[in-house]
Structure 1
Amino acid sequence: MATARETVYTTLRERIVDGDLHPGQRLVERDLAAELQVSRVPVREALGRLEAERLVVLVPRQGVLVSPFAPQDVSDFFDVRESLEVLAARLAAARVDDAGRARLQAALTRADEVTREGDARAIALANAAFHTAVVELSGNALLIDMMRPLEARMRWLFRLTHYDPEQQCAEHHDLYAAVAAGDADGAAAQALRHIRSGRERSVERAAGWAAVDPVAATRTRRRRP
């Protein structure tokens, strides 16, 4: 049975990733505790964990905001993805076996299914799961540990940018083909192409997500600026 702290953390994390709590929005600890029917302790602990994942910003002596995810933040995120996910794709292709191919194929099939259904939340979840599978198939424990905290931000980015889901699936199929064939150079090239295809649009759209001064925003009791 999940503890109160786990339930609160998971609930807030999903609400941020799904866009229910939007970038720049004020989070009031007391209000959240009342809404979730818990004490303020698990809320405070959950916000601390979310800060470590960079999903919220804690302004000292002021309050908490959902991370603004400004254009520079998005650009920095893509810099990291272009390095770590490309390496993961290369290693996955070099080390892939039948079980790995089956796992990637299952993730790809799931993404295809939800894309046809048009469920935006499920699409973001399935596409992020495909990327996670590639990383885990790299077999590099340090790389996997480095990428794990970024999974939520990846899903969040997918939801905020509204990528063309059919284009995403097509690019994932290309990446899968290279990994499944054991083509390390091809997999790295496909991963880089896929990540870069959404970079410019994501950075441009980020300008409208949270044009907010964190300190100024925390000076109001309103949860929705």
Structure 2
Amino acid sequence: MQTDVRSVRAPEESARAFVYRVLSTYIKEMFLHPGEKLAETDVAAELQVSRTPVHDTFSRLEREKMLRPVPRGAVVPPLNTDMIRQTVWMHRTVSQAVLGELYNHRPTTLEPLEHCVAAELEALQGGAIIKMARLHLEFHRTLYSLAGREPVIDVLERNSGDLYRLLRMMESADLWRYVAEQHSAVVQGLAMRDYEMAAHALEAEFDLVKPLLEECRYQRPYFFE
């Protein structure tokens, strides 16, 4: 495990919170690949903390299914294809309901969503593909927030770890530009009170996941179970 700026501990951050933040981020962002093994002693030495917060973090990540216990450590689990498909179905279904709420109870401003799209386009222009999965997540969180449904997206995100890791594997700028275009169409549809336009754009975005999953499973079968 090689550390970088994300591994810098904030002055007010407890050792346990620090270790959890680093490991969960590394797993979600695919800096730690599926199948990679971690040992508590190595992580403690790398992050310059005692073994106790590392042990506690391993236990927490195992409960959250981001690590699997193995003798003398833990391993980053492979992506579960069935879970990804189920997660996409949940997002697709609930997002349509959220769009309906935004259509019936139009928010006072769509600027937060517009800022999300602008951030995506800026990242693409700068070649920062690595940011796109996180910006994609921020767009959907903002969409739910405008509808007052933060608790719903909280639940969805807790079950979306493998979907997020899959999106981190999408390295095509053209595909991410297509996603940004669909997000822009969602905003435009909401602004014009055109539910069908917004709903179609979200459907088009979710439709990308199936071919992406198939391509990634073909290119890196050892990342999946």
- TM tier relative to shorter chain: 0.7 to 0.9
d(CA) in 1 for partners of 2:97 and 2:69?
32
How far 1:118 sits from its partner (Å)? Answer: 0.8
How far 1:133 sits from its partner (Å)? Answer: 0.9
The one-letter code matched in structure 1 to 2:133 is A
Listed as ranges, the matches of 1:87-106 within 5 Å are 87-99=97-109, 101-106=110-115
d(CA) in 2 for partners of 1:170 and 1:109?
11
How far 1:150 sits from its partner (Å)? Answer: 4.4
SS at match of 1:16: helix
d(CA) in 1 for partners of 2:203 and 2:60?
30
- 1:74 maps onto 2:84 in alignment: yes
d(CA) in 2 for partners of 1:208 and 1:45?
35
How far 1:168 sits from its partner (Å)? Answer: 1.4
How far 1:72 sits from its partner (Å)? Answer: 2.8
Structure 1: stretches of 5+ with no match in the other structure: 215-225
What is the TM-score normalised by the length of structure 1?
Answer: 0.80
d(CA) in 1 for partners of 2:106 and 2:54?
41
- 1:171 maps onto 2:187 in alignment: no
- The alignment yields a C-alpha RMSD, in angstroms, of 2.7
Structure 2: stretches of 5+ with no match in the other structure: 1-11
Is contact 1:70-1:209 (8 Å) kept? no
d(CA) in 1 for partners of 2:221 and 2:66?
13
SS at match of 2:207: helix
How far 1:141 sits from its partner (Å)? Answer: 4.8
Q: Work out which of the residue numbers 100, 114, 123 in structure 2 matches 1:114.
A: 123
How far 1:86 sits from its partner (Å)? Answer: 3.1
SS at match of 2:53: helix
Tell me the number of residue pairs that the alignment of Structure 1 and Structure 2 aligns.
212
The one-letter code matched in structure 1 to 2:94 is L
- 1:42 maps onto 2:44 in alignment: no
d(CA) in 2 for partners of 1:53 and 1:135?
23
Relative CO higher for 1 or 2, CA cutoff 8 Å, sep ≥ 6? 1
What is the TM-score normalised by the length of structure 2?
Answer: 0.80
d(CA) in 2 for partners of 1:194 and 1:78?
10
2:66 is matched with which residue?
A: 55
How far 1:41 sits from its partner (Å)? Answer: 2.2
What does the per-residue CA deviation read over 1:30-70, in whole Å, with 9 as the maximum and x for residues that have no partner?
211111111222223323443444332345x6742212004
The one-letter code matched in structure 2 to 1:205 is C
Is contact 1:92-1:135 (8 Å) kept? no
For residues 148 and 75 of structure 1, do their structure 2 counterparts lie closer, same or farther at Cα, with a shift above 3 Å needed?
closer
1:13 is matched with which residue?
A: 24
How far 1:107 sits from its partner (Å)? Answer: 0.8
